[in-house]
Amino acid sequence: MNRKLKDINLKDTGLAQRISQTLVEAILDRKLKGGDRLVETELQKHFKVSRTPLREALRDLEKKGLVVIKPRRGTFVKEITRKDIFAHYPVQASLEGLAAREAHRHINPTHCLKMENSLKAMEQAAQAGDTKAFLEHHAVFHTTFITACKNQLLIDMITELRFRGDRLRYFFPYTQDYCLNSVRVHWQIKEELCSPDTSPDKVEKIVREHIERLVNMEGWGL
């Protein structure tokens, strides 16, 4: 465990929040992996903090779905299984499909231009084999139409769900073929969202089915 803590440095925000943010990034970057035990005494020594802010940070990680706290056994980085994938993506698909349906009524040229720019950047990243950049621009694309739905409860729910899904993406095979095909699908989503002649049902369906496909994709590294 000490070896894994070596490259994990505390961020510049409030204490418990800094610990939580730092561990989140370590988990997402896979410096800490599924099944790893987070030993409180080692973390206290590493971060030079007392037990109170550390435990607050670990509870925050538990709420985010990144760790499991087992009474009398300790805290462990959550392991991802196919059960997680089958539980997560159908819910995300339904909520984002609903957001797209609602966004279709409010979408404007600024939203459409932002999605178009994201798509161009996604395509460049896919061609360059830059998965990190691809995912960053992919997130901007989705966030653009999600926020355009103007339903704050729905936005908050999807934001939390997408955060929980961040760990799943590290087990997914982002091949160049997949990324380029994904760009084509997203162009279609953008065209349907930005067309006033498209029915809300069609907009919802194309977004929902795009996300649902992830459940049955081959190559998950589990």
- Residues 147-166 have pLDDT tens digits of 999 999 999 999 999 988 88
User: Residue 152 CB: number of other CB atoms within 10 A?
Assistant: 9
Model confidence pLDDT, tens digit, residues 65-102: 889 999 999 999 998 888 999 999 999 999 999 999 99
pLDDT digits (tens, 9 = 90+) for 28-60: 777 898 899 999 999 999 999 999 999 999 999
Q: For residue 145, how far is the Cα from the chain centroid? A: 16
What is the pLDDT of the chain when averaged over all its residues?
92
In the prediction, which pLDDT does 10 show? 65
Q: What's residue 127's pLDDT? A: 96
Model confidence over 158-216: pLDDT tens digits? 999 998 888 888 788 889 999 999 999 999 999 999 999 999 999 999 999 999 999 98
pLDDT over 90 for what percent of the chain? 75
Amino acid 173: pLDDT: 84
- What's residue 1's pLDDT? 67
Exposed/middle/buried for residue 29 (C-beta within 10 Å: 0-12, 13-18, 19+): exposed
CA distance 109 to 37: 49
pLDDT above 80: residue 2: no
Please give the residue that has the higher pLDDT: either 10 or 207.
Answer: 207
Q: What is the pTM of this model?
A: 0.78
Give the per-residue pLDDT at 219: 73
User: Stretch 116-141: mean pLDDT, rounded?
Assistant: 96
Band the pLDDT of 146: cuts 50, 70, 90. very high
Residue 3 above 80 pLDDT? no
- H or E element that contains 68: strand 67-70
Q: What is the pLDDT of residue 9?
A: 67
Answer whether 193's CB lies under 8 Å from 145's CB. yes
Give CA separation, 211 vs 72, 95, 164, in Å: 38, 10, 15
Helix and strand numbers (H, E) in the chain are: 10, 3
**If pLDDT is split at 50, 70 and 90, which confidence band does 25 have?**
confident
Encode burial over 69-87: b for 16+ CB neighbours within 10 A, e otherwise. eeeeeebbbbebeeebbee
Q: Identify the pLDDT of residue 170.
A: 77
